[in-house]
Amino acid sequence: MSLAASAVAVVALAVPAHAVGDGTYVIRNLRTGGCLAPLAGPFSPVVLKYDRDCTQWKVTNQEDGSVQLSPTDQPALCLDTLRFPEAAVAPCGEGRLQRWQIDDFGPRTPANIRNLDTDSCLNALSPEGPVLVLSCRGPEWLLEPTA
pLDDT digits (tens, 9 = 90+) for 74-91: 999 999 999 999 999 999
Of the listed ranges 5-9, 48-52, 107-111, the one predicted with least confidence: 5-9
> If one looks up domain 3-145 in CATH, what number appears?
2.80.10.50
pLDDT of residue 20: 79
Q: What are the pLDDT digits (tens) for 21-45? A: 899 999 999 999 999 999 988 999 9
The predicted model scores a pTM of 0.84
For residue 3, pLDDT beyond 80:
no
d(CA 125, CA 141): 13
Burial class (CB in 10 A: 0-12, 13-18, 19+), 118: middle
pLDDT mean across residues, the chain: 85
- Strand-pair partners of 27: 143
Going by C-alpha positions, the residue among 8, 111, 33, 29 that lies closest to residue 67 is 111
Check residue 106 and give its pLDDT.
65
